[in-house]
Chains A and B, each alone.
Chain A
Amino acid sequence: DAGVTQSPTHLIKTRGQHVTLRCSPISGHKSVSWYQQVLGQGPQFIFQYYEKEERGRGNFPDRFSARQFPNYSSELNVNALLLGDSALYLCASTAGGGVWFEAFFGQGTRLTVV
């Protein structure tokens, strides 16, 4: 069975550009979350979507946006890229809606801003 898939795996962008990262959740999972992991730190929560609605937003500027599609896949968009946006961006998939959850992560997208 396919796990969480993310694309692209690596990306190099220039300051000021925008980027779109994509995520396909595990089949049957309805919730997708996005996390940013800077080198040497634990992942930080960016967004969570469940049933195509935004359910949570972390402490990130409005340059970060996301959406979830009817097939539960998701996109993370970042505008006006800064050097500090360089990080590993992780997508997590859960079944959603329970009193507790298990999150399964994709391999991540390594974004480098130059």
Chain B
Amino acid sequence: TQLLEQSPQFLSIQEGENLTVYCNSSSVFSSLQWYRQEPGEGPVLLVTVVTGGEVKKLKRLTFQFGDARKDSSLHITAAQPGDTGLYLCAGGISNFGNEKLTFGTGTRLTIIP
């Protein structure tokens, strides 16, 4: 059974601070995706990382895929109240049309103005 452990589960910080969310697994994934989800809505895809060691930047967000493709991190610089939300990592397995995402439990982020 593939499991993704996400930490921390809850994070509350002041506007302007930096933060890092971690996503760890003992399994290797074809890809790792990060989503942000608002209450009552579906997850919105932020980024997909595919290659071990890959780093992607999306404005103030930096995503990294571990060298062994088992773990990932999300770093936010100078957090803003608009960053508040539930962040989910999801490991993807793909095999000739068979596709499955395994989600972490999520990190609920609150940015205090």
Q: Taking chain B's interface residues, is the majority helix, strand, or loop, or is none over half, making it mixed?
A: strand
In the complex with contacts A107-B41, A108-B42, A110-B40, A33-B101 CB distance below 8 A: yes
Interface check A97, CB cutoff 8 A: yes
Which residues on A sit within 8 Å (CB–CB) of B41?
107-108
Interface check B105, CB cutoff 8 A: yes
Interface residues contributed by chain A, number (CB under 8 Å): 34
State whether B98 touches A50 (Cβ < 8 A). Answer: yes
Interface check A45, CB cutoff 8 A: yes
In the complex with contacts A42-B88, A55-B98, A56-B100, A100-B48 CB distance below 8 A: yes
**Stretch binding the partner chain, chosen from B12-20, B55-63, B74-82, B89-97:** B89-97
In the complex with contacts A102-B33, A103-B45, A107-B42, A55-B99 CB distance below 8 A: yes
State whether B42 touches A105 (Cβ < 8 A). Answer: yes
State whether B45 touches A102 (Cβ < 8 A). Answer: yes
State whether A92 touches B31 (Cβ < 8 A). Answer: no
Rounded to whole Å, the gap between the CB of B56 and the closest CB of chain A is 13
Interface check B66, CB cutoff 8 A: no
Chain A interface (Cβ < 8 Å from any Cβ of B): 4, 6, 31, 33, 35, 41-45, 48, 50-51, 55-56, 58, 88, 90, 92, 94, 96-108, 110
